[in-house]
Amino acid sequence: MDFWRITKEAYALDKLGTGASIYGGRWNRTMTPAIYASSSISLCAFEVMVHAGDTLPEDLVVVKITIPDGAGIVDIREDLTEGWDTLSGSSISEEIGTRHLQERKHLAFMVPSVIIPEESNVVINPQHEDISIINLEILRKFTFDPRLRD
């Protein structure tokens, strides 16, 4: 199964989840590593845009993440309770995701996107024993269409 990231080239092949560990995220608290990806390149672009603020980053690449079929990806939508998707961030989603990451039962878990709830993001657990079976490959440079900057 393939997933996608749009990230700065310097961090594109990081299997340690360093950035998420330092800064935390919707699905992890600080000091809990995670790798965030999406089910499509277009959803990645939306995710980057909403998190970038006023200035869209420029040194970006598209990363294809391949996780072998049957590798232990679980959909945790049924675990979600009201309020997980608040726009300011959510301690509910942080708690759920951090618990899944710390338990290390699954290599990755699927979650709905807050931006487009019908689409999915995936959170990969860099501390899972099978992390070595995933493949990260830089496909190309990525730039936002200049019309999006105006």
Residue 67: predicted pLDDT: 96
Cβ pair 80, 104 in contact under 8 A: no
End-to-end CA distance of the chain: 35
% of the chain beyond a pLDDT of 70: 97
Per-residue pLDDT of 25-67, as tens digits, reads 999 999 999 999 999 999 999 999 988 877 888 899 999 999 9
What are the domain boundaries of the chain?
Answer: 2-143
Residue 51: predicted pLDDT: 84
Cβ pair 92, 141 in contact under 8 A: no
Q: Please provide the average confidence, as pLDDT, over all residues in the chain.
A: 92
pTM over 0.85: yes
Q: Residues 6 or more apart from 108 whose CB is under 8 A from it?
A: 67, 71, 72, 73, 74, 122, 123, 124, 125, 128
Give 55 or 93, the one with higher predicted confidence.
93
Q: How far is CA 125 from the centre of its chain?
A: 10
Residue 63's Cβ-side half-sphere holds a number of Cα atoms within 13 Å equal to 23
15: alpha, beta or left, given left = phi > 0 and alpha = psi -120 to 50?
alpha
% of the chain beyond a pLDDT of 90: 76
Residue 72: predicted pLDDT: 84
Per-residue pLDDT of 120-148, as tens digits, reads 999 999 999 999 999 999 999 999 888 87
